[in-house]
Amino acid sequence: MSECMLATQSDAPVRLAAASPEIVLGDPKANAAAAISAIRRAEKAEADYLVLPELFLCGATLGSLMEHPLMLNACREALGAVAEATKHTWLFVSIGLPYMVDGRVRSCIALLRGGRIYAVIPASRGAVNPFGFAPAVPRGAASLSTLTPIPRLSVGFAGQIFAKGEPREGHIMLLSGAINATAKSYGAVRSSLAAYSARTGMAAAMALPSRGESTTAFVFDGYCAIAANGEILAESEPLSRDAFVYADVCIDKLSAFEPFTEAEEEGYVSNDPDKAQAQLRRLFALQRAALVRRAEHIHAKGFVIGVSGGLDSALALLVACAAADEMGIGRGMITGVSMPGFGTTSRTKNNSRALVEALGCKYREISVAAACREHFANIGHDEANHNSVYENAQARERTKILLSIANEEGLLDVGTGDLSEAALGWTTFGGDHLAQYGVNASVPKTIIRRVVAAVGADFGADADAILRDILATPVSPELLPANGGEISQKTEELVGSYELHDLFLYYFLKGKGPKELYDIALGTLDFGEEEVYRTLGTFLRRFFSQQFKRNCAPEAPLVCLSIAPSVWNMPSDMASAAFMAEYERIKRRQS
């Protein structure tokens, strides 16, 4: 389709395409090849426009290396190769890369067609550049062609447009994005795209990053979609390996209107049961995808997990099984290690073994008691003294065992710790605080419980029955001797309900202060004033005092919230006086 036809035949359908091929992080040449493959695919589909993700040529998660001169030059060369691939086609291609603009490296979108680079548009406050309105062209870019006006086309950055404003010029919008995936992001991004197309009267094609991006802190699901008139016309399955979609739009039928949109629901997952179930399963799928990416990157033969008979290790084991299934390595390459200590009960130990075996994984049992007693003797500690030395030695011995097995067998040590424990610092520094990768680290305890309940039946009736008993087991680190064979150390009796702690954490990360946290808890959960006040005090004191553990926590993907204590920017030696002063005023208000 020629530019003339675009200008005069408004009743002709236009075919939009969006693609998110798997990239190689930090390899522009390989990513150019992936882009060219997507271009050929779009040509076969007879598409008129193709959009690829933001920073596609280097990877959106490359970090500081994105600004290195070598990487910038490699991206320029890769861009030239992609442009050359459009030489004999009328297809417009929008692709993301880092580019030096006015002495500063910016995330940019390049528009290509017919072997030419029409323009390179940097991210800006408006995050959009309607062609024909003097787009910014980087200085010294001799390879750039003189811009040919394309009055109906705009390109933009999805995340910024959804957040900061929506242009109303033109008919077609190509949106490159670098939005990470969370449990609720699929619904939020999908509805934002549909609403955008409705309010602006523009047809929009969007592509987000997929596999190949780093899972050090985030997971990307490669979501691609086409929308017009408030409707999603085509979309890819999240987490697909090679997302590609296309749809036809008739630009003369595009019209703006103001649709009804629901306010964003509060909470880690939706209050609607059906939405919540879908979000819980999506969260699990994101955990699986993150673990697969990490294992493939380090060429791990399988996984090793410390299984305690508790919730966290149960979910980590399920994620490992799902990852092994996807990788095709067999569950026999997963080693579940039970490491009974001085407080381990028969219930949790038996559940550990039963679950590992029901899932078809390899089971090992290694007691830490003898090693801890030798350690006590070496440092002169009395075993009868059940202080932090007594407790922490067990956790650290377990971590040493897991890391050594990982080294010996070429496995990835999968951490089991959750978001609630990280927020409270309810971990042993150098013990369960460490692992090679933490799949649960951004998931609060209350949501871990719900994910296990949601996906348990997928792993067979035997495993599901064991998981039901694990769900009914009190949460405990089991580091103190049992009482008549029963768990004596119950976490929620010591620090308060995880329902309260998880609610406090959610709203604290959203900027709420102690008074607001207190009022929200009273109005939301069924706890008395004294219990809410006591638990809030525990939360505040531990959150501020335990930052030092979070500052050196293992890498973990953010799959539940887009921010978590593991990436919370806070010095570990700051004073919490202002927060505690407001907390104390709550008590005076009660009086």
Report CA torsion sign: 331, 294, 505, 416: positive
Q: Can you give the pLDDT at residue 257?
A: 55
* % of residues, the chain, pLDDT over 70: 87
Quick one: pLDDT band at residue 565, thresholds 50, 70, 90? Answer: low
φ/ψ bin of 60: left (φ > 0), alpha (ψ from -120 to 50), beta (otherwise):
alpha
Residue 138: name the closest of 108, 116, 112 by CA: 108
Sheet holding 231-235, edge to edge: 128-130, 153-157, 172-176, 203-207, 224-228, 231-235
* % of residues, the chain, pLDDT over 90: 69
- Least confident range from 15-29, 129-143, 453-467, 528-542: namely 129-143
Residue 268: name the closest of 515, 558, 462 by CA: 558
Quick one: pLDDT band at residue 529, thresholds 50, 70, 90? Answer: very high
Residue 322, class by beta-carbon neighbours within 10 Å (0-12 exposed, 13-18 middle, 19+ buried)? Answer: buried
Q: Can you give the pLDDT at residue 344?
A: 94
Q: Can you give the pLDDT at residue 169?
A: 58
Statement: 15-253 belongs to CATH 3.40.50.300: no
| In the predicted structure, residue 269 carries a pLDDT above the cut 70 | yes
Task: Give 68-89 pLDDT, tens digit per residue.
Answer: 999 999 999 999 999 999 998 8
Question: Average pLDDT, stretch 452-464?
Answer: 97
Where are the CATH 3.60.110.10 domain residues in the chain?
A: 15-253
| In the predicted structure, residue 137 carries a pLDDT above the cut 60 | no
- Least confident range from 74-88, 123-137, 141-155, 232-246: namely 123-137
Residue 582: name the closest of 514, 504, 512, 507 by CA: 514
- Least confident range from 48-57, 169-178, 218-227, 300-309: namely 169-178
| In the predicted structure, residue 94 carries a pLDDT above the cut 50 | yes
Sheet holding 13-20, edge to edge: 116-122, 104-113, 92-101, 49-51, 13-20, 243-250
Secondary-structure class of domain 273-590 per CATH: alpha beta
Question: Average pLDDT, stretch 180-202?
Answer: 90
Q: Can you give the pLDDT at residue 568?
A: 65
Q: Can you give the pLDDT at residue 410?
A: 98
Q: What is the DSSP letter of 52?
A: -
Mean of per-residue pLDDT scores for the chain: 88
Where are the CATH 3.40.50.620 domain residues in the chain?
A: 273-590
Quick one: pLDDT band at residue 7, thresholds 50, 70, 90? Answer: very low
| In the predicted structure, residue 563 carries a pLDDT above the cut 70 | no
| In the predicted structure, residue 151 carries a pLDDT above the cut 60 | no
